[in-house]
Amino acid sequence: MYDLEPHEAAKIKQMPASLEESLRNLEKDHAFLLKGNVFTEDVIETWITYKREKEIDQVRIRPHPYEFFLYYDV
């Protein structure tokens, strides 16, 4: 992978950079999870909401440890 030409490397899909990006992608594309009644639309929506409220929002409202490093002694 590291020896690929730039035009070849550009064809490789990137992983989501965050949980939020992953959830946005899941909202757009989750039909494969509905096939065979593996999950219902309601279960997927509930899970996405839960992850946003209990994880993403909870992290967002708290300072990151690096912020303490940058600003605590100011």
Residue 66 in this model has a pLDDT that exceeds 80: yes
In this predicted structure, what is the pLDDT of residue 72? 86
Nearest CA among 64, 53, 56 for reference residue 19: 56
For 22-62, the pLDDT digits (tens) are 999 999 999 999 999 999 999 999 999 999 999 999 999 99
Per-residue pLDDT band for 73 (boundaries 50, 70, 90) equals confident
With a CB cutoff of 8 Å and minimum separation 6, the contacts of 25 are 16
* pTM given for the model: 0.75
